[in-house]
């Protein structure tokens, strides 16, 4: 078995295989075009790799993508963490340990080639056993959701955030306290918005009137997820009293304007319980459960606690 970094041609070939799992009703040619458009966005262009595990006869046994992100181990400064995504084994190759073999080789490769590598993370939609064998540990996966509300998203906030200004919100959010954090890039936030643009166009759906809101020093950034009818809060910073409620209220009205049923937030930016929200443990339905495999001996799985949706892949 050998770990191979895919060329653009190999990536297009692999889209043909993954179409079965992720293409849904989208025809193959359209799926390949939208995957190519997503890969062509500046953020993946700077940090994305598709990895193939090839068998001795050259056949692809399994594959995954990685995205390099910035992370911070307190006291040791900045480094990198790698998010693994789109793990895929074709049906006839499953349950033979290929994913475990791929991830073990990837961990060894990253450790050997990046002296600043701190962790590998992923968001699992499948039984956690799939990743445990390669050393990944699950982290808390709570989410709260709120029904969309009719009304003007500008009500109760100082301004709505145009999509080309999402980086203002990111710059205003302080680094989380704690021994370890993975920090989203401004281009990564725009990659979520690029997904929104692509699917709005593909499905002929309206887009939310803004990508976030500000109230005083509090910020929220969001993106539509049309497949599940949600407006996902990518990042929320609400240092003052009432800010979280006002920002979520604005998001609920933006969701309604875009024909989305609800707003979902992963990290609770509000100290007190949130009476209007429905609390959900994503672990129960295996929905984007964060898992981490430390690479630096100084990083412990339990140190990864600040996990906003902006980091999801």
Ligand X SMILES: CC(C)(COP(=O)(O)OP(=O)(O)OC[C@H]1O[C@@H](n2cnc3c(N)ncnc32)[C@H](O)[C@@H]1OP(=O)(O)O)[C@@H](O)C(=O)NCCC(=O)NCCS
Interface residues toward ligand X, by CB under 6 A: 21, 62, 87-89, 94-100, 124-127, 129-130, 133
Query: Cβ of 101: how many Cβ atoms within 10 Å?
Result: 17
Q: Which helix (H) or strand (E) holds 287?
A: none
Helices assigned H by DSSP within the chain: 8-22, 28-39, 42-47, 98-113, 129-132, 166-172, 186-203, 243-257
Give the Cα separation of 220 and 208 in Å (integer).
Answer: 14
Closer to ligand X by CB, 96 or 278: give it: 96
Residue among 97 and 178 whose Cβ is closer to ligand X: 97
* Minimum CB distance to ligand X, residue 123 (Å): 7
Q: Is 155 left (phi over 0), alpha (psi -120 to 50) or beta?
A: beta
What is the nearest approach in angstroms of ligand X to the Cβ of residue 39?
18
Is residue 109 within 8 A of residue 284, CB to CB? The reply is: no
What count of other Cβ atoms lies within 10 Å of the Cβ of residue 57? Answer: 5
CB of 109 to ligand X, least distance (A): 17
CB-wise, 256 or 309, nearer to ligand X?
Answer: 309
To ligand X, the closest distance from the beta carbon of 221 in angstroms equals: 24
DSSP 8-state secondary structure symbol assigned to residue 206: P
- C-alpha 271/C-alpha 135 separation (Å) is 33
What is the closest distance, in whole angstroms, from the C-beta atom of residue 23 to ligand X in the complex? 12
Nearer to ligand X, 136 or 191 (CB): 136
Residue 74 or residue 94: which is nearer to ligand X going by CB?
94
Q: By C-beta, is 131 or 183 nearer to ligand X?
A: 131
Closer to ligand X by CB, 125 or 152: give it: 125
Q: Closest approach of Cβ 20 to ligand X, in Å? A: 8
Minimum CB separation from ligand X for residue 63, in Å?
A: 9
Q: Residue 78: how many CB atoms within 10 A of its CB?
A: 11
Give the torsion sign (CA, 105, 109, 112, 116).
Answer: negative
Q: How many degrees, rounded to 5, is the angle at CA 131 between CA 115 and CA 82?
A: 30
């Amino acid at each position: 078995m050998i770990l191979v970094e895919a060329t653009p041609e190999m990536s297009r070939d692999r889209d043909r295989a993954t179409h079965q799992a992720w293409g849904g009703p989208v025809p193959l040619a359209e799926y390949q075009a939208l995957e190519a458009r997503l890969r062509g966005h500046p953020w993946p262009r700077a940090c994305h790799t598709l990895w193939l595990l090839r068998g001795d006869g050259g056949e692809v046994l399994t594959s995954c993508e990685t995205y390099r992100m910035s992370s911070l181990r307190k006291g040791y400064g900045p480094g990198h963490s790698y998010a693994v995504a789109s793990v895929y084994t074709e049906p006839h190759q499953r349950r033979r340990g290929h994913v475990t073999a791929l991830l073990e080789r990837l961990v060894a490769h990253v450790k050997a080639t990046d002296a600043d590598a701190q962790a590998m993370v992923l968001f699992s939609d499948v039984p956690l056993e799939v990743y445990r064998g390669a050393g990944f540990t699950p982290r808390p996966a709570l989410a709260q959701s709120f029904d969309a509300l009719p009304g003007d998203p500008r009500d109760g906030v100082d301004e709505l955030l145009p999509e080309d200004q999402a980086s203002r919100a990111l710059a205003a959010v302080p680094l989380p306290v704690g021994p370890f954090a993975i920090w989203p890039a401004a281009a990564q936030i725009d990659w979520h918005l690029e997904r929104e643009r692509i699917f709005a166009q593909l499905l002929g759906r309206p887009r939310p009137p803004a990508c976030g809101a500000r109230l005083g020093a509090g910020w929220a950034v969001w993106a539509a997820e049309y497949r599940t009818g949600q407006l996902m809060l990518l990042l929320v910073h609400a240092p003052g009293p009432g800010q979280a409620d006002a920002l979520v209220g604005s998001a609920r009205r933006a969701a309604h304007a875009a024909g989305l049923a609800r707003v979902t937030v992963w990290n609770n930016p509000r100290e007190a319980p949130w009476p209007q929200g429905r609390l959900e443990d994503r672990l129960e339905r295996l929905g984007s459960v964060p898992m981490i495999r430390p690479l630096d001996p100084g990083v412990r799985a339990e140190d990864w606690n600040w996990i906003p949706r902006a980091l999801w892949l």
